[in-house]
Amino acid sequence: MITISLCMIVKNEEKVLERCLQSVKGIPDEIIIVDTGSTDRTKEIAEKWTPYVYDFKWIDDFSAARNESFRHATKDYILWLDADDVLLEKDKMALQSLKSSLHSEIDAVAMKYHAHFDNQGNVISSAYRFRLLKREKQYRWIGVVHEHIPITERDNTYQSTIVVTHQKENPKRSVRNLNIYEKYVARGGTLTSHDLFHYGRELASNHRYEEAVDIFHQFLDSPHVSDEMRLFIFNELASCYYFLQNIEQEHQITLQSLSYDMPQPVFCCRLGEHFLRQGKVEVAIFWYQLAIQIPVSYSWSVDKNPFRTWLPHKQLGLCYEMKEEDRQALKYYQQVLEFLPDDPEAKQKIQYLQQKMKA
């Protein structure tokens, strides 16, 4: 059985820290908590769980803080979590099992990260992240924000079924990450392709779409961009052009995505919308059905679940309504409820169509 150091960085996390630690209770052999300047009860809560609580001056650099937490670890492997992460019971059991069975040749273990949820608790975006790392490999975090650990092909990795669930207490969009990037650039910092990827996304999330477009193009011009990351940023770019009301550029980026791989669900939905706007309902149906049928090609970048679940089903319902094929429309609206059981629009459509068909 391996031993595990849980390493965390925290600041003003009194509302969520206990919940996180409770969710992995009994699994870590030691807990390392680095506090970057809490003014609430965070340190008091941390000290109930571990004697290894350290202060670290915040310098607008997440990697520096995470590397400090790793520096204090003494066990075979390091598990890292944020204070607003939890392991659900099934995932806690899976981690306990992994602890008992993990082969010592494994350097890094990936776990799925459920990052965002809709109002009904459905996962809308998820991605894999390396969460459990062999300490003797001396992995180092890089990046002032959206920090990551470079894992190479020489590392022995394992992709587990364990899920880390993000349960953010305050889901409002923060400008913190964007501010850190802008301070970093202002003091002459060099943006890597990884930084450009996330800097562009932060700009877009804060509705600064024209600036985001420029940064995304810089990312796409970077060397060694994988098809997976390129396609992901094509979708981000298309969204920016949509919000800038440049529908032609949105469409061109969507078409460009088709030259790299089979159509991805998000681009199928964009093409469905394109043809629906033109009144070409049959062509729209083709693309929305393809969004449902296409296999998931990429599991590491953020998976946009709605574009292969409820969204194309709802749009197919609309398309068949436009064709006055009520039974088909009803079928697709009913399938929306398999993903969004309380969706008011789908329920209203179902009620309307059922009454219409009885008349």
Q: What is the pLDDT of residues 232-255, one digit of tens each?
A: 999 999 999 999 999 999 999 999
By percentage, how much of the chain surpasses pLDDT 70? 97
Q: What is the mean pLDDT of residues 43-66?
A: 98
Q: What is the mean pLDDT of residues 346-350?
A: 97
Q: What is the pLDDT of residues 178-200, one digit of tens each?
A: 999 999 999 999 999 999 999 99
Q: What is the pLDDT of residues 116-132, one digit of tens each?
A: 888 878 888 888 999 99
pLDDT at 116: 85
pLDDT at 300: 60
Q: What is the pLDDT of residues 218-230, one digit of tens each?
A: 999 999 899 999 9
pLDDT at 172: 63
Is 176-358 in CATH node 3.90.1150.10? no
pLDDT at 142: 96
Location of each CATH 1.25.40.10 domain in the chain: 176-358
Report whether pLDDT(165) > 90: yes
What's the predicted TM-score (pTM) here? 0.88
pLDDT at 11: 98
Please give the residue that has the higher pLDDT: either 300 or 140.
140
Q: What is the pLDDT of residues 78-117, one digit of tens each?
A: 999 999 999 999 999 999 999 999 999 999 999 999 988 8
pLDDT at 264: 93
Q: Which CATH class is domain 4-166?
A: alpha beta
pLDDT at 295: 85
Residue 134: pLDDT band (50, 70, 90) is very high
Location of each CATH 3.90.550.10 domain in the chain: 4-166
Report whether pLDDT(298) > 80: no
3 state SS for the chain? CCCEEEEEEECCCCCCHHHHHHHCCCCCCEEEEEECCCCCCHHHHHHHHCCCEEECCCCCCHHHHHHHHHHCCCCCEEEECCCCEECCHHHHHHHHHHHHHCCCCCCEEEEEEEEEECCCCCEEEEEEEEEEEEHHHCCCCECCCCCECCCCCCCCEEEEEEEEEECCCCCCCCCHHHHHHHHHHHCCCCCCHHHHHHHHHHHHHCCCHHHHHHHHHHHHCCCCCCHHHHHHHHHHHHHHHHHCCCHHHHHHHHHHHCCCCCCCHHHHHHHHHHHHHCCCHHHHHHHHHHHHHCCCCCCCCCEEHHHHCHHHHHHHHHHHHHCCCHHHHHHHHHHHHHHCCCCHHHHHHHHHHHHHHHC
Collapsing DSSP to helix, strand or coil, 343 comes out as: coil
pLDDT at 330: 98
